Structure 1
């Protein structure tokens, strides 16, 4: 039983890491109504700049401020050069635009800082912690990641209740209607992409501290897609709950089902679970059910 709980806790902590990426997807979707394929590249982009500044000898906190400035400037550039020209276009066009942004950020970041794996140490403890007289072992890093995710969730939940947060939903529902009541679409998009960039920075720091800052983070970030399907594309708390379900599910499946199917189940379990969930509740656990009247 102790081994079961150790695997379960390890899975929940892995799910927290997925949730950090999923939060950025949710923010963009709530503001534009489209899935932001570039969020994974934004995680890598932010991580590369952060560790790059540190390697240049810039102090840690100054590097963090510089990287925040970079992500805010990136948000402004995306709105000015891409989104401003796609106002009132179909969602699929905005989605294709985010694919282009993704490839640009992936290549541009590596062009500046290179593609080698970069180790990132921000002082987060990595020592193992033994619980229940040594029966259960967990990593202290995972606990700090859970704390960071919890704080980020709290901030975003409060942000949704603000005037800007309500404006985000109005923009997602109808661009023209939002503009007609005085909501500045360009300003809202800059704000939401900047916030998504800051979320990507947090995810990049955490993932980079655990695995090193490397291009593989972009692919790994797509594990957030089944997280969103389970939690709902418009729910910030759903991103956390969905991440916990995916993380715990894939770890338990790898240990208890993997030996019967040849192993490797951890690589595809999340997507199969999400596919099955789409058949039962397409809007996700916390997503809003869309009812169209004709």
Structure 2
């Protein structure tokens, strides 16, 4: 029982990071109706930039963290202005293909700049574990879970109460109506990419402090996709719960496969097996909006 409880706790930590990255997926989809397949690469780039500033340039971690967020915003604006804005009005599949190309470009940039070896962040927090229900929990796990929940709460309040958040929700509901009310659609698109890049970078930094970083970190985007589908592509609450659920189920499936059958590597396919089941039962996810077409 202690073994499975440990798996659940670790799954909640990883799932909270999934939730952050899933938030980026949902924000871009709500504003632009585009699935961003470069989301995982935004996670990777943010983690590597923070690592470089902290280790190579010897900056304090907090300064590196803030500079990474500034870099993420600048990168998002550059991508939106130069690559995506000219595609406004074009078929959605064209924009999706561009995000796939962007994914390859960012991955190649990281490999050329930092290589493919695993890099480890210097310890930021104390190493002495806390005890929870008799189980040791590393301080970095507690900080990661707490920061993820805090950020999700902040962004939820932003979307619900701020003028920009309300403008983003209006744009997501009806772009033409929002534009007729004086909302700058292009500015909202840029803001959605900035927020997605910021939350992705934060997720990458948190994950880097737990497991280290390498060029495979970009695959996190695909691993998070089942969480997005589970919660619903246009639901912030769904992104939060979907990430936590997938994180816990992945860990339990992996642990059970090792414990009962001596099999490893099941974690890599568990989320996609869950995705297939989800799509058969709930095609729009737990909280996704059902689209009804009348002919």
Cα distance in 1 for residues equivalent to 2:176 and 2:102: 24
Offset, 1:60: 2.7
Give the stretch that moved more between structures: 270-279 or 100-109.
Answer: 100-109
For residues 182-193 of structure 1, the aligned pairs below 5 Å read 182-193=182-193
SS at match of 1:167: helix
What is the match of residue 75 of structure 2? 74
Cα distance in 1 for residues equivalent to 2:61 and 2:255: 39
Q: From the superposition, tell whether residues 112 and 257 of structure 1 become closer, same or farther in structure 2 (CA, over 3 Å).
A: closer
**4+ residue segments displaced more than 6 Å:** none
What is the match of residue 253 of structure 2? 253
Q: CA RMSD in A?
A: 2.1
1:229 aligns with 2:252: no
What is the match of residue 97 of structure 1? 98
For residues 1-294 of structure 1, the aligned pairs below 5 Å read 1-54=1-54, 55-121=56-122, 123-132=124-133, 134=134, 136-161=135-160, 162-258=162-258, 259-260=260-261, 262-294=263-295
Cα distance in 2 for residues equivalent to 1:249 and 1:220: 16
Q: TM-score, normalised by structure 2?
A: 0.90
Give the stretch that moved more between structures: 102-111 or 69-78.
Answer: 102-111
Cα distance per residue 1:254-275 (max 9 Å; x no partner): 2334534844322211111111
Aligned residues: 292
Cα distance in 2 for residues equivalent to 1:112 and 1:48: 10
Q: From the superposition, tell whether residues 80 and 246 of structure 1 become closer, same or farther in structure 2 (CA, over 3 Å).
A: same
Offset, 1:175: 4.3
Q: From the superposition, tell whether residues 4 and 61 of structure 1 become closer, same or farther in structure 2 (CA, over 3 Å).
A: closer
Q: From the superposition, tell whether residues 292 and 4 of structure 1 become closer, same or farther in structure 2 (CA, over 3 Å).
A: same
**Contiguous gaps of at least 5 residues in structure 1:** none
Cα distance in 1 for residues equivalent to 2:292 and 2:117: 48
Q: From the superposition, tell whether residues 264 and 107 of structure 1 become closer, same or farther in structure 2 (CA, over 3 Å).
A: closer
Offset, 1:169: 3.5
Offset, 1:93: 1.6
SS at match of 1:137: strand
Would the aligned equivalents of 1:79 and 1:186 in 2 still touch at CA under 8 Å? Answer: no
Cα distance in 1 for residues equivalent to 2:118 and 2:142: 24
